[in-house]
Amino acid sequence: MTGRFEGRVALVTAAADGIGAATAKAFAENGARVVLSDINTELGEERAEALRAAGHSATFIRADATREEEVEALVRRTVLDHGGLHLAANVVGDGHPGASGPEFHQQSLEAFEYTIMICLRTTFLCLKHEIAHMIDHGGGAIANVTSLAGMLYNSFGGAGYGSSKAAVIRLTKFAAVSYADRGIRVNCIAPGVTPTRAYYKSGPEHAKVLIDEQVINQPIRRAIATEEQAAGIIWLCSDEASMVTGHNLPIDGGWTAQY
């Protein structure tokens, strides 16, 4: 359905790779003018250039989504450069590198607070400033990225990861109800086993073991592609989902259907 976002501007955070990069590409292929943002300037610029080379409208703006002044400037520049902001995918979210190994009582406060900052604080800041624009300019659609770890027990990422992702689901619902009467829809996806850089922090061999261990929990026993996660975001932001808001969509190969 190429062209369904024609004339609309989409902002994607964590767009340098993983689900963010796949989402930026999907928005562009569906006709949106896309702003990619990340702290990885080199890779982010490469992604934007590749989209432009394919004939799409894409620009990169570096921003640290943990810093409010940078998020505010990101949204402001997006609006100034492109004339508006209609769609947003808030993808930033990660766990502390040392949080998965120790048992709960051995995990550090530093790891817990770091993960809350990366997963929950960034989503709050992005929502706040995206909504602040959309509220006075005809509304819009926003998709956040949470995790199955926010819905059920999973040791991946430690206590901070599951706690922050559960909070993102609640934050999504709060924003959805608060702004539904002003034309703003807010939803989220909960990815299942999707190989992104978070899996590869300890190297490719450890990543394979981790992925194989988790895939057996999915009725569809294969890893999920980032493009499949992006497809869920695209649908939630599209007019086809015009009556969907406050929804958490698990894209998990049937994992949560078992509970």
Q: Which residues are catalytic?
A: 161
Backbone φ, ψ for residue 156 (5° rounding): -60, 125
Count CA atoms within 13 Å of residue 165 on its CB side. 30
Would you state the structure tokens that stand for residue 78, as one six-digit string? 């997006």
Q: Which residues of 80-104 are buried (b: 16+ CB within 10 A; e: fewer)?
A: eebebbbbbbbbbbbbbeebbeeee
- Four-CA torsion 174, 244, 29, 137, nearest 10 degrees: -60
